[in-house]
Chains A and B, each alone.
Chain A
């Protein structure tokens, strides 16, 4: 089946810089997308989500952009801090409830914050 993937397995940025983590999806029927942060040895934590009727959504220091034309999702983290170091996963859900087995997850990008 179609799956969500990520362009870069590891991303290293300087503390204070902005980070952009990318995600490609291939199922045009997906209507909901979500980003998770997973610290080592812990369960994934929700960061932000977006529905397909939007192209941008902002949270605290994070912005998710959705480009349905090219099936691309990105997570922007502003002014990165050491605590942002983690693996970031994107996930999608098929519309309207076609994702009977829940969300489909990408493999993740490891974000490393350099001091």
Chain B
């Protein structure tokens, strides 16, 4: 059963702690993305990766970090430097950068208090 998974669905952290969100895909897609979504808002791009061992900053990368050591995995770390980390985080994958559908995971809702 092919798809993209994110875990956990809900995550709670204390302010000042780093937290890592998981994203895995078995679609054999080259490109992967992380978006942030705030209530009633659209998707804002945090980081993206076109290929293993390469990634680029999106529009709101400050306070976040990523790695792409394997094709199927693209974890996102929300660091303590992120001033407003509470949000819904969405991971997506795409066959390749370009005119193709992006497949989204179910999302992780992060709450930092």
Residues of A at the B interface (CB closer than 8 Å) are 31-32, 34, 36, 41-46, 49, 51, 89, 91, 93, 95-97, 99-103, 105-108
Contact = CB atoms under 8 A, between A and B. Distances in A.
B1 to A, nearest CB: 16
A89 B43 contact: yes
Query: Mostly helix, strand, loop or mixed at chain A's interface?
Result: loop
Nearest to A32: B99
A46 B100 CA distance: 11
Nearest to A5: B42
Contact of B33 (A45, A93, A96, A102): A102
A45 B90 CA distance: 12
A55 B41 CA distance: 28
Nearest to B50: A100
B64 interface: no
